[in-house]
Amino acid sequence: STDSKQEEWVVAPAPPLYKKRQVRAQVFGFSVTQDDIRAWAEAHNIPEEDDYYRRQDAWKAVCSRLPRNRRDRRLTIIHNPMTHSKQSMCIVIGSNLNAKDMERAQNLELIKSLYDAIDMGKRPGWFYVSQG
């Protein structure tokens, strides 16, 4: 992974606050695809076994690195057009659902700490919450 302390971080612009019909709900966080989990398992020496169980073990290990505080530990399924299923998991930092969540999405300290904790080398972004 890249050392986040030596890089200049620029947070992506936030969408407008969620207002039911006018603006769709979005989350800001790290998208995690099945391929990301496979690569993480390989990089972190998760024992090889059935692919499904290896991914499950890797996902549990990634989640164990997240903050213990319930309010800081959120996951959701997002719309991801770059994947076969059009969906992936997202480790959520903030959202456009309220002003407090919008602030969290701009919190560089929180972003960098999660980036370092999950150790995937991916930058966070804004994603639509999956509708199905």
Rounded to 10 degrees, the C-alpha dihedral 37/43/46/50 comes to 50
73 within some domain:
yes
Selected residue with higher pLDDT from 90 and 17: 90
From residue 56, alpha-carbon distances to 26, 28, 84 in Å are: 26, 23, 19
* Domain membership flag for residue 6: no
Residue 3 domain-assigned? no
User: For residue range 25-83, what is the model confidence (pLDDT) as tens digits?
Assistant: 899 999 999 999 999 999 999 988 899 999 999 999 998 988 776 555 678 888 877 77
Within a domain: 4: no
Q: How far is CA 64 from CA 18, 68, 80, 99, in A?
A: 30, 8, 24, 28
pTM over 0.85: no
Mean pLDDT, rounded, of the chain? 85
Q: How many domains does the chain have?
A: 1
- Domain of residue 109 covers 15-128
- The sign of the torsion formed by the CA atoms of 92, 125, 112, 58 equals positive
Least confident span in 6-15, 36-45, 95-104? 6-15
Q: Reply yes or no on whether the pLDDT at 104 is more than 60.
A: yes
